[in-house]
């Protein structure tokens, strides 16, 4: 039942149903507004038994969980990935960007790592600290109450550590660490890296009547059937649909452009239905873009208003620019002392129970921004690829490399749970020259929509940070007695730095600022050049932090949603 | 998941009615998870997109390996891991050769051809399947141990590495392999740290700074309360 041509004028049209769109939708609907959500993928409800992949076994998949069509494996709850058939993008020669898209209700929140970190006071004013990038037009203190609301609505476990740039919050009690996490924390301390309980949006203690309690299957990436993890589908959009407002959800609908009147005011959004491949328009008083930083930029760049030939709201020319993703690299190794482990269920929550927030002062270092450290390992559920590293493990413990038969199985059983890894996730510097644009070749995707071309290069800031992280992570592993799987990558291997886009924290393509000449949106995330077009995803981020962006997306979207309600009440929009 | 299902999900979305079941109803019972979560599973392996479902149906309608190739895979697989065929080894190889052809198709097919040529050269024109057990083991022993010093392994070793990878994955993602491994998760649980004897063995202890802050699993069903600074009120 696709709603075809619709004369109705919604109070608001929201494009995208992830963290930003979901939160905006919930706030507007709870305030009684009539809204439409345009979602490029299908409906998805993690609590629907027919959809659930949680608690399934690897043998139920013919590919044993391999990542053929889903980059994080067959049971992962993200439909899509870095490559989507029929939806290409290109990169400028000599540059690199990998664009992850998840076409479904809730978007990428259905599978993400649930690491939920508030940005700190310095993160909003990093230009003041090091003269790079731009300050946000708002401060931590302005956003703080909204972070607290998000903490209390959605639930995030952690501990108040009183750290200057990793703010305390209203945390649920954290779970105890796993064995390898305690080991890593101990050896990290030996080399001067403090680990603390992690901060994940997983419900460890009753937070409200909406949400279930974690039952420690370690599978948040499959999206939780009892809603013990945060997914925008189950925690925001579906509750919005039960609230006092009216929510019309247009699924399998690919937003194409924002429609404006002669004054540049948005009147609606056009989309291509994936069912019949025809274009439709719906009308609204307010348009909120939350399609994901790059998709939101694409929408703006594909939209036109009188006098705005460069894309809607792009008089500054910054739409698509200052694109930046978190830096990332991984180091892993075999820890002989963890061989022959006693078996017990250590699935835990779907992610790390400990992490190391940035602990150093960049003034004393040769790179400007920090990183945090994540850890993984343990006796997890086997999936496709299990045992593939046996030759490396044999080498690590001095066994004859190779073989077959019962002896090999016996060895593998002894090695189980002894493989440990760490991941660095850091802040890159927002650069004008890192951007996405409409591909000048004129190529369109299968929905007829002009595609993006990316132009992104890491700079020495990121390379130096990566070099530092390699040394740090390796020193922890060495202190633990680990046999590292690969030698330290040098400059020719970019110090092991993963490609931009690989960490899926891309932000900044319509950055907020007080000056319309250098920013696309104002402090509320509203386009400077249109009275009623807002952005509630991470496109508005003036800068990233050494943190995952989701909690900040949620806080800003809540703040923005309430602002839109007020402005509508005052007839300002 | 098919077109019909896609339409159903669209219908559900457009109507926008209550989709939320009573999934928190059990909270006061102290169960770690609602009974509904552990009910018998549905068909398939969780929601597939229309693209995925159509792709899989297409793959299943095709046939890659010949019967003889599959028989050879069974013989070889059972040498690599005894009875691995009971874990679905040849079926898994057949599916993966179509699902990820660039990774598996030519490696496996070419490797099997190499194996038969090697058998033929050494044993009077016989194929691998036609060899005695001892003859098969002799060939396997010649390719099962990569030279750690070599940069490039010979074709037979490369093939065996790949076949070993397939057998290991297949076995350890099967019921039998998971039991053998001793993985005891993938079920509702109440995590409360590693067993004490494990901590003792590794001479590890919880940091006293955090020990009082960890979740009290006896009280997880009780509504969280905070003081004005965000500290959980205990008790």
pLDDT for the residue A6: 65
- B125 is a domain residue: yes
Minimal C-alpha gap between B62 and chain A (Å): 14
- pLDDT lower than 50: segments of chain B: 1-32, 35, 38, 40
Beta strands in A384-459 (DSSP E): 419-426, 435-438, 452-455
Share of chain A above pLDDT 70, in %: 99
| A452-510 pLDDT per residue, tens | 999 999 999 999 999 999 999 999 999 999 999 889 999 999 999 999 999 999 999 99
Minimal C-alpha gap between A320 and chain B (Å): 30
- B192 is a domain residue: no
State the distance between the two ends of chain B, measured CA to CA, in whole angstroms.
48
pLDDT for the residue A3: 47
Nearest CB to A47 within list B23, B146, B183: B23
pLDDT for the residue B235: 65
Q: Count CB atoms within 10 A of the CB of residue B100.
A: 15
| A414-456 pLDDT per residue, tens | 999 999 999 999 999 999 999 999 999 999 999 999 999 999 9
Least confident piece of the model among A49-58, A66-75, A524-533, B38-47: B38-47
Nearest CB to B14 within list A1, A401, A416: A1
pLDDT for the residue A50: 87
* Rounded-to-integer distance, Cα A511 and Cα A515, Å: 11
Chain-chain contact of B194 with A344 (C-beta, under 8 angstroms): yes
- B65 is a domain residue: yes
Inter-chain CB pairs, A–B, below 8 Å: 337
- B46 is a domain residue: no
Contact present, A287 and A472 (Cβ < 8 Å): no
pLDDT for the residue B46: 86
| A7-18 pLDDT per residue, tens | 799 999 999 999
Using CB atoms and an 8 Å cut-off, which of residues 178-217 of chain B contact chain A?
A: 178, 180-195, 197-199, 201-202, 204, 206-207, 210, 213-216
Which of A161, A215, A408 is the best mutation test for B, with the most CBs of B within 10 A? A215
| A237-289 pLDDT per residue, tens | 999 999 988 999 999 999 999 999 999 999 999 999 999 999 999 999 999 99
- B71 is a domain residue: yes
- B187 is a domain residue: no
- Which strand (E) or helix (H) includes residue A207? none
Count up the domains in chain B and report the number: 1
| A113-141 pLDDT per residue, tens | 999 999 999 999 999 999 999 999 999 99
Minimal C-alpha gap between B53 and chain A (Å): 11
Domain membership of residue B63 as a residue range:
59-181
- B139 is a domain residue: yes
- B235 is a domain residue: no
pLDDT for the residue B47: 84
Chain-chain contact of A57 with B186 (C-beta, under 8 angstroms): yes
* Rounded-to-integer distance, Cα A269 and Cα A250, Å: 12
Mean pLDDT of chain A: 96
Phi, psi angles (nearest 5°) of residue A87: -130, 70
Domains of chain A: 1-49+103-156+220-325+430-443+505-573 (3.50.50.60)
SS3 content of chain A, % helix, strand, coil (to 5): 25, 20, 55
Average pLDDT over residues A316-326: 98
* CA closest to A157 among chain B residues: B215
Residues paired with residue B8 on neighbouring β-strands, in sequence order: none
* Rounded-to-integer distance, Cα B94 and Cα B111, Å: 14
Minimal C-alpha gap between B32 and chain A (Å): 5
- Using alpha carbons, select from B142, B63, B73, B124 the residue that is nearest to residue B98: B63
> Cβ contacts (< 8 Å) between A43 and chain B: which residues?
9-10, 12-13
Contact present, B50 and B1 (Cβ < 8 Å): yes
Average pLDDT over residues A186-199: 98
Kindly calculate the radius of gyration of chain B based on its CA atoms and give it in whole angstroms.
26
Predicted TM-score of the model (pTM): 0.94
């Amino acid at each position: 039942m696709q709603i075809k041509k619709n004369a109705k004028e919604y109070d608001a049209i929201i494009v995208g149903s992830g963290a930003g769109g979901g939160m905006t939708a919930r706030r507007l609907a709870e305030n009684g507004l009539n809204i439409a959500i345009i979602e490029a993928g299908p409906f998805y409800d993690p609590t629907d038994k027919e959809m659930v992949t949680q608690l399934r076994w690897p043998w139920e998949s013919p590919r044993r969980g391999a990542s053929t069509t889903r980059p994080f494996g067959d049971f992962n709850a993200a439909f899509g990935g870095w490559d989507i058939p029929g939806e290409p993008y290109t990169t400028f020669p000599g540059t690199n960007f990998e664009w992850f898209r998840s076409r479904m209700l809730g978007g990428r929140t259905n599978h993400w790592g649930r690491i939920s970190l508030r940005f700190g006071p310095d993160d909003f004013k990093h230009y003041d600290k090091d003269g790079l990038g731009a300050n946000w037009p708002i401060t931590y203190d302005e956003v703080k109450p909204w972070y607290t609301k998000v903490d209390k609505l959605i639930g995030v476990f952690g501990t108040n550590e009183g750290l200057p740039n990793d703010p305390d919050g209203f945390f649920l009690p954290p779970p105890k660490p796993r064995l390898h996490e305690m080991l890593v924390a101990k050896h990290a301390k030996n080399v001067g890296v403090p680990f603390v309980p992690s901060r994940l949006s997983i419900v460890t203690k009753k937070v409200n009547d909406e949400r279930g309690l974690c039952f420690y299957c370690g599978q948040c990436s499959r999206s939780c059937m009892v809603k013990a993890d945060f997914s925008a589908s189950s925690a925001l959009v579906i509750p919005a649909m039960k609230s006092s407002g009216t929510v019309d959800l247009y699924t399998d609908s690919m937003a194409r452009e924002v429609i404006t009147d002669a004054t540049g005011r948005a009147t609606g959004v056009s989309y291509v239905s994936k069912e019949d491949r025809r274009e439709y328009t719906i009308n609204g008083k307010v348009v909120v873009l939350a399609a994901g930083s790059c998709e939101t930029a694409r929408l703006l760049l594909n939209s036109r208003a009188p006098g705005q030939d460069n894309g809607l709201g792009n008089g500054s020319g910054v739409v698509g620019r200052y694109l930046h993703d978190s830096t990332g690299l991984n180091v892993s190794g075999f820890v002989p002392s963890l061989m022959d482990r006693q078996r017990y269920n250590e699935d835990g929550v779907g992610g790390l129970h400990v992490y190391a927030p940035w602990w150093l002062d960049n003034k004393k270092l040769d790179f400007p921004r920090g990183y945090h450290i994540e850890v993984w390992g343990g006796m997890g559920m086997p999936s496709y690829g299990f045992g593939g590293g046996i030759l490396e493990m044999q080498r690590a413990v001095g066994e004859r490399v190779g073989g077959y038969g019962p002896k090999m199985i016996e060895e593998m059983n002894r090695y189980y749970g002894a493989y440990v890894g760490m991941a660095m996730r850091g802040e890159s510097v927002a650069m004008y020259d890192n951007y996405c644009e409409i591909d000048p070749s004129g190529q369109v995707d299968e929905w007829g929509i002009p595609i993006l071309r990316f132009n992104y290069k890491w700079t020495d800031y990121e390379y130096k940070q990566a070099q530092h992280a390699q040394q740090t992570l390796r020193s922890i592993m060495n202190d633990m007695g680990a046999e590292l799987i690969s030698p330290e990558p040098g400059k020719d291997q970019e110090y092991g730095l993963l490609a931009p886009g690989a960490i899926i924290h891309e932000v900044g393509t319509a950055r907020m600022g007080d000056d319309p000449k250098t920013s696309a949106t104002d402090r509320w995330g509203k386009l400077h050049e249109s009275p009623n077009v807002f952005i509630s995803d991470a496109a508005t981020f003036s800068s990233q932090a050494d943190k995952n962006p989701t909690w900040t997306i949620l806080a800003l979207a809540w703040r923005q949603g309430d602002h839109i309600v007020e402005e509508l009440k005052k007839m300002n929009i | 998941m098919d077109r019909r299902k896609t339409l159903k999900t669209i219908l559900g979305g457009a109507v926008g009615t209550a989709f939320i079941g009573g999934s928190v109803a059990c909270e006061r019972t102290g169960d770690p998870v609602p009974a509904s979560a552990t009910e018998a599973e549905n068909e398939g392996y969780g929601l597939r997109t229309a693209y995925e479902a159509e792709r899989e149906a297409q793959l299943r309608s095709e046939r890659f390996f010949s019967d003889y190739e599959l028989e050879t895979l069974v013989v070889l697989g059972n040498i690599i891991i005894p009875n691995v065929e009971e874990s679905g080894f040849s079926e898994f190889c057949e599916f993966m050769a179509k699902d990820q052809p660039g990774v598996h198709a030519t490696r496996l097919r070419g490797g099997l051809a190499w194996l038969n040529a090697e058998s033929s050269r050494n044993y009077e024109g016989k194929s691998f399947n036609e060899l005695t057990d001892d003859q098969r083991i002799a060939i396997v022993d010649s390719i099962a141990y990569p030279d750690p010093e070599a940069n490039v392994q010979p074709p037979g070793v490369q093939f065996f590495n790949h076949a070993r990878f397939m057998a290991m994955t297949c076995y350890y993602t099967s019921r039998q392999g998971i039991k053998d491994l001793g993985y005891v998760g993938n079920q509702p649980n109440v995590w409360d740290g590693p067993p004490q004897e494990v901590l003792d063995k590794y001479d590890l202890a919880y940091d006293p700074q955090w020990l009082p802050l960890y979740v009290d699993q006896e009280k997880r069903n009780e509504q969280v309360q905070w003081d004005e600074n965000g500290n959980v009120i205990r008790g």
